A and B are shown apart, each in its own frame.
Chain A
């Protein structure tokens, strides 16, 4: 089995599992005694059935050799860049972890710096400064001028006196 075929099989199985999860979730929707000609479970079952059928189709396609090796994008595609990918994912996780306890400015600054580093920027200090100024400006615009809360925190409390 070629590498591409093995990963195609993985994708196909994922779709199949998604279909099974959908079927399980459709089954646990409480049956309602309401007068309804088409109940809340009918369409979910239909969609689950569709996903399972497509999953089976994809598994069959993968077993017959897969499809990835024919893709234009895969011809001469560079190898997985683990450094860039993990820096980017770290940027996403950092945002989720930081936005509630520390507020928007901190979260956005860390995210911006990590993502920029993922794409080869080495001027980290400059990125931090740019990100900090831009996100504080964005915070001021959204919260102060528009009245839309995008997440107050430590820095916001210092600069604007907003409670976190």
Chain B
């Protein structure tokens, strides 16, 4: 339905350039693939979908793509539509991730990720805990001590309530033996206002994806206390795990198949994504976008998904968003 290339072709008259001319063309996996993005154009899920298209086409894995964007409510408006319209279709994928795990729980939707077929996790973006450059909180220990003393006095800015930033703070409080609901969490609509509030020291600290704050940290306007990934994401900044707090959390994004597809169809999608992530075209896009590759498929991905859902649900229960 939505074909973006037409706009470019119509306006700029430019052929879509292949990224690596002359690169080895792989065996074609699909003639046409339908990509469902349960968010509007321009966001993270859309970006991943577009990158999949770009790499697949230039590597010759898929001949043509068809996109459909249905945004709203963390993907829970689009999800039922994908489930309803694509049942049993082996040539359809949906882009989704951590945000949808939370949204399905908080919005109490009858249709959930259990209704689609997990194919693979593709990327992840760890979070980072920062304070304004002028803050008296020097390091993670100082931040945790302040939280332990009085969580209400440590206002922490981030994205919407119940989102990954909020869940991260909840997990930190739990590690101190406190309840997530004691957090003095200030939700901002969008990354801009949140960053501005931290830069202007309106809040004591902030939590968000590493890429959102990386430049401010580099410029010395924010101080990074810790990142939330498995390994370090920023030079000289420890992970929570290294600091003795057993929390690993990130905004992962991945690919799901339609409900009710058979084992062969599922294997074909799985093989296709496996082949895609091995191409140099894919590696180049990942590097340029600064994404952390986090490819995980099959039973490993299902195990990861189950754990992520359990962790998320527990924190959301504590803060009263799941009852």
Q: Do chains A and B touch in the complex (CB under 8 A)?
A: yes
Take A33-B181, A34-B161 as given contacts and tell me if A149 and B2 are in contact as well, using a CB distance cutoff of 8 Å. Answer: yes
- Which secondary structure dominates chain B's binding surface? mixed
CB of A146, distance to nearest CB on chain B (Å): 6
| Cβ distance B171 to chain A, nearest Cβ, rounded Å | 16
What mask results when residues 125 to 164 of chain A are scored 1 for a CB within 8 Å of chain B, else 0?
0000000000000000001111111001000000000110
Whether the pair A34, B10 counts as a contact (CB closer than 8 A) is no
Q: Which of B3, B68, B151, B323 contacts A35 (CB 8 A)?
A: B151
| Besides A32-B321, A147-B6, A152-B1, 17 new A-B residue pairs in contact (Cβ under 8 A), listed by A number | A30-B320, A33-B319, A33-B320, A34-B183, A34-B185, A35-B181, A35-B184, A143-B1, A143-B2, A144-B10, A145-B6, A145-B10, A147-B2, A147-B67, A149-B1, A149-B2, A162-B1
- Of B68, B151, B152, B183, the residue contacting A149 (CB under 8 A) is B68
A32 to B182, CA, bound (A): 12
Residues of A at under 8 Å CB distance from B?
A: 30-35, 143-149, 152, 162-163
Q: Closest residue of chain B to A162, judged by CB?
A: B1
7 cross-chain CB contacts under 8 A: A32-B320, A33-B181, A33-B320, A144-B3, A144-B10, A147-B4, A149-B2
A14 to B3, CA, bound (A): 46
Q: Which of B147-206 contact A (CB under 8 A)?
A: 151-152, 161, 181-185
Residue positions of B touching A, CB distance < 8 A? 1-7, 10, 67-68, 151-152, 161, 181-185, 319-321, 323
Q: Are A30 and B319 in contact (CB under 8 A)?
A: no
B181 touches A34 (CB 8 A): yes
Tally the A-B contacts, defined by beta carbons under 8 Å.
Answer: 46
Query: Quick check: B181 and A146 within 8 Å, CB to CB?
Result: no
Which chain A residue lies CB-closest to B34?
Answer: A163
The interface residues of chain B lying within 8 Å CB-to-CB of A144 are: 3, 6, 10
Chain B residues whose C-beta falls within 8 Å of the C-beta of A35 in the assembled complex: 151-152, 181-185
Q: Report the minimum CB–CB distance from A126 to chain B (whole Å).
A: 31
> In the bound complex, do residue B320 and residue A34 qualify as a contact, i.e. CB atoms below 8 Å apart?
yes
Residues of chain B with a CB closer than 8 A to A148's CB: 2
* A-chain residues with CB within 8 Å of residue B1 when the two chains form the complex: 143, 149, 152, 162-163
CB of A147 within 8 A of CB of B3, answer yes
Cα–Cα, bound, A30→B106 (Å): 12
Complex interface: chain B residues within 8 A of A162 (CB): 1
**Which single residue of chain B is at the shortest CB-CB distance from A40?**
B161
A152 — nearest CB in chain B belongs to which residue? B1
Q: How far is the CA of A163 from the CA of B66 in the complex (A)?
A: 11
Q: Given the interface contacts A33-B319, A35-B152, does A145 sit within 8 Å of B7 by beta carbon?
A: yes
Q: Which residues of A contact B152 (CB under 8 A)?
A: 35
